[in-house]
A and B are shown apart, each in its own frame.
Chain A
Amino acid sequence: DAKTTQPNSMESNEEEPVHLPCNHSTISGTDYIHWYRQLPSQGPEYVIHGLTSNVNNRMASLAIAEDRKSSTLILHRATLRDAAVYYCILRDDAGKSTFGDGTTLTVKP
Chain B
Amino acid sequence: DTGVSQNPRHKITKRGQNVTFRCDPISEHNRLYWYRQTLGQGPEFLTYFQNEAQLEKSRLLSDRFSAERPKGSFSTLEIQRTEQGDSAMYLCASSVYFHEQYFGPGTRLTVT
Question: Which residues of A line the B interface, CB within 8 A?
Answer: 32, 34, 36, 42-46, 49, 85, 87, 91-102
Contact = CB atoms under 8 A, between A and B. Distances in A.
Nearest to B105: A43
B7 to A, nearest CB: 14
B56 A94 contact: yes
A91 B99 CA distance: 9
Interface residues of B, number: 26
A95 B42 contact: no
Nearest to A101: B42
Interface string B29-70: 001010100001111110010000001100000000000000
Mostly, the A contact residues are loop
A99 B105 contact: no
Interface string B89-112: 001010101111111111000000
B103 A45 contact: yes
Nearest to B4: A43
A82 B97 CA distance: 28
A96 B42 contact: no
Nearest to A30: B98
Nearest 4 A/B pairs, CB to CB: A43-B103, A95-B98, A99-B42, A46-B100
